[in-house]
Amino acid sequence: MPITDILEKNCLLYGDKVCLVEIDPGQPVVEASWKEYELIQSTALSYSRKEITWNIFNEKANRFANLLLSKGIGKGCKVGILLMNCLEWLPIYFGVLKTGAVAVPLNFRYASDEIDYCLKLAEVDVLVFGKEFIDRMAAISDSLVGKVKLLYAGVSPCPDFADDYNELTANQSSQTPKIYLTDEDDAVIYFSSGTTGFPKAILHNHMSLMHSCKVEQNHHGQTNDDVFLCIPPLYHTGAKMHWFGSFLVGGKAVLLKGTKPKQIIEAISNERCTIVWLLVPWAQDILNALDNGEIKIEDHHLEQLRLMHIGAQPVPQSLVKHWLRYFPHHQYDTNYGLSESIGPGCVHLGVENTRKVGAIGVPGFGWKVKIVDENNVPVKQGEVGELCVKGPGVMTCYYNDPAATAEVLENNWLHTGDMAMQDEEGFIYLVDRKKDVIISGGENLYPVQIEDFLSSNEHINDVAVIGLPDPRLGEMAAAIIEVKEGHTLTEDEVNEFCKALPRYKRPRKIIFADVPRNPTGKIEKPKLRAMYGATKLVDAQNKG
C-alpha cells in the first residue's frame, strides 16, 4: 500500500477537519485559513496563524501532481524540495509521491555549493524552492539551465530564473491522478546529515514510508483526537516520521516556526497539543526557563499534554529526570533511528519503561537488532559492539554510490556506525559513534558516557567531548562546556566534579564555549575538532 492512500482515506473520513496549522511567532498578521486557493482572514492575532483541512491538503497535492505530470515528470524522475517549514511543504511532498516520482527534501541550511552537489547527486529534474533561498539559487541557476527546472513557491515577485509555482498550480485539476504505485516503487531520497563531509543520498521505497507510519503509531498510540506539535525541519526524517503516526489516523499537527521556550509552551497551551517531540537543546531550554521562573506552568493549559519524546541524539538521564519532576504524569519515550532506517523507531525506550531512562531501548515494532564486533560476530551481553538493525524500513541503497552501500548493508542488515551494549533485560545502551571513540593510552573512551556524566552538573547547559591529539597517549578527551545562563563554573570545579569518574575517563582539557549543533540537534563534532584540534596538537607538542 503506497503512503498516498492514507491521504485519500483521511479525506474520506475527516475531509473538513483541520489537519495542519502553521504558527510563526515572528510574523504578527491576521489569522487565516485556506479554502482551495483563497486565503480567508478572520480575528487578528499577535502572531501569524494559518490552517488547512484534509480536503485542501489533498487538493493542493493533486494540483501539484497534475502540474508535474503535464510536464512529463513521473516515475523515474526526481523532484527536490527546498523550503522552510510551511503549510505548502507537505502537500508538495505528497504531490510528488502521487506522480510516482521521487521526492528529494533538501536541508535548508545548505550553501549554494551543497545544494548544487545534492541536486546533481540525486539527479533532480525539478526543484521547488522558497523565498529564503533566492540568493543561493541565483548563484547556481546558470549551471542548472537545461538540467533542473526551477519552481518558485514564495511570495511575488518570482525571480527571473524560475517559474511561479503558485501561478502554475492554481489552474491545475484538483482530482487525484490515476498513477499505479506499489510498495517497491522508489519514493524518497533523504540526505545524511553531512557532518563528515558532503552528504550521501539515501533512497527509500513506499514500503519504508508505510512501515514508518505503523512504527510511530504503534509506539505512541496516536488517535484522531491527538494534536502533534512539530518543530524540527520537515526535510529531516525525524520530524516527518513522527508526524506520520498522526497522519495514519488523521490527527492534527501544528507546525511551529520557532524554538524559544515560551513559544513552544504557548503553542502547546493555545493549540491544546497532546504530543511534542523535542531535541535535547529545546528541552533543556524549557527546563531552564521553568527553573528561573521565566515560564510558570500554572499560567498555561498544559494538562492535555500526554507525551514528550526525544530523539536524534543521546539524551542525558539527568534531563529526563528533571523533566519528570515538572511533569510527573507525562509519558516519556526515547527514540533512536537514522535516515538510513527511515528515521526514528527502529529502537525505542517505550513509554512504559521510564525506569530504564538512559537506554535507547529495545527493538521497535517490526525491527530486529544485533550488536557485532569488527568481524561481524555478535558480542556477548554487556560487551560493546556496533549496532545493526533490520526491518522493512531499511533503505534501498545510497543512490549512485554502490561502494558506500556495500559498506553498511549486508544481507539486509544495516550497520549503523553506533557503538552499543545490551543489558541483562535486553535494553540497548548507546555508547558512541564508532568514528567518535577516543583511544587514549590504549583505552577506549566513549564520549557519550562522559557527556552524560557532565550533563548531570547543575551548572552545565550543554557539553561535547572530543578526542584531541596527544603525543604521549595518542588522544586525550577534551570537554567543551556551555555554562547555563546566570551560572558560573571554573576549570577547577569541573575537574573536582569529574573525580567521580574513573581516572582514565576524566577529560584532560576543559574548554568553555558554545556547543554547536546542527538543525536536528546533533553535536557538530567535526567542527569542534577543526576548531580545537590543530591548536591542541601544537600545545601538546610544546608541553612535550
| Contact indicator for 196, 228 with CB cutoff of 8 Å | no
In whole numbers, what is the pLDDT of the chain averaged over residues? 89
Percent of the chain with pLDDT over 90: 67
List beta partners, residue 308. 276, 332
Residue 536 has pLDDT above 60, yes or no: no
Residue 543 has pLDDT above 60, yes or no: no
Structural domain ending residue among the three candidates 403, 433, 463: 433
Residues 136 and 236 occupy one common structural domain = yes
Residues 482 and 501 occupy one common structural domain = yes
The reply to whether 276 falls in a domain is no
Cell of 412: 539486509
The reply to whether 285 falls in a domain is no
Residues 377 and 456 occupy one common structural domain = no
Q: DSSP letter for 279, please.
A: -
Question: Which band of pLDDT confidence, cut at 50, 70 and 90, is reported for residue 523?
Answer: confident
The reply to whether 301 falls in a domain is no
H-helix or E-strand containing 64? helix 54-70
pLDDT digits (tens, 9 = 90+) for 185-233: 999 999 986 544 568 999 999 999 999 999 999 999 999 999 999 998 9
Question: Where do runs of H (alpha helix) occur along 204-330?
Answer: 206-220, 237-249, 261-271, 280-291, 317-326
Residue 444 has pLDDT above 80, yes or no: no
> What is the predicted pLDDT for the residue at 237?
86
List beta partners, residue 51. 21, 33
Residues 357 and 376 occupy one common structural domain = yes
Burial class, 538, CB count within 10 angstroms (exposed 0-12 / middle 13-18 / buried 19+): exposed
pLDDT digits (tens, 9 = 90+) for 355-406: 888 889 999 999 999 999 989 999 999 998 999 999 999 999 999 999 999 9
Region of poorest pLDDT, from 116-120, 137-141, 247-251, 471-475: 471-475
> What is the predicted pLDDT for the residue at 534?
40
The reply to whether 267 falls in a domain is no
Structural domain ending residue among the three candidates 408, 433, 458: 433
Cell of 130: 522558497
Mean pLDDT of 417-431: 90
Q: What pairing do the DSSP bridges indicate for beta strands 385-390 and 368-372?
A: antiparallel
| Contact indicator for 397, 203 with CB cutoff of 8 Å | yes
Burial class, 221, CB count within 10 angstroms (exposed 0-12 / middle 13-18 / buried 19+): middle
Residues 232 and 151 occupy one common structural domain = yes
Mean pLDDT of 245-271: 95
Q: Within 10 A of 537 (CB to CB), how many other CB atoms are there?
A: 14
Burial class, 266, CB count within 10 angstroms (exposed 0-12 / middle 13-18 / buried 19+): buried
Residue 466 has pLDDT above 80, yes or no: yes
The reply to whether 494 falls in a domain is yes
Question: Which band of pLDDT confidence, cut at 50, 70 and 90, is reported for residue 114?
Answer: confident
Return the CATH number at 426: 2.30.38.10
Burial class, 518, CB count within 10 angstroms (exposed 0-12 / middle 13-18 / buried 19+): middle
Return the CATH number at 495: 3.30.300.30
Residues 213 and 119 occupy one common structural domain = yes
Residue 48 has pLDDT above 90, yes or no: no
The reply to whether 286 falls in a domain is no
CA distance 349 to 237: 19
Residues 108 and 95 occupy one common structural domain = yes
Region of poorest pLDDT, from 99-103, 109-113, 443-447, 455-459: 443-447
The reply to whether 280 falls in a domain is no
Return the CATH number at 246: 3.40.50.12780
The reply to whether 297 falls in a domain is no
Give the distance from CA 442 to its chain's centroid. Answer: 35
Residues 210 and 319 occupy one common structural domain = no
Where in 54-168 does DSSP place strands (E)? Answer: 78-82, 102-105, 126-129, 149-152, 163-164
Query: Which residues 6+ apart lie within 8 Å of 271 measured at CB?
Result: 21, 23, 227, 229, 254
Residues 399 and 492 occupy one common structural domain = no
Burial class, 218, CB count within 10 angstroms (exposed 0-12 / middle 13-18 / buried 19+): middle
Residues 407 and 459 occupy one common structural domain = no
| Contact indicator for 274, 42 with CB cutoff of 8 Å | no
Residues 14 and 90 occupy one common structural domain = yes
How many folded domains does the chain comprise?
3
Residues 315 and 248 occupy one common structural domain = no
The pTM for the full model equals 0.83
Question: Where do runs of H (alpha helix) occur along 100-171?
Answer: 112-121, 134-144, 165-170
Question: Which band of pLDDT confidence, cut at 50, 70 and 90, is reported for residue 80?
Answer: very high
Domain extent at residue 39? 4-258
Most confident of 91-95, 279-283, 329-333, 430-434: 91-95
Structural domain ending residue among the three candidates 385, 411, 433: 433
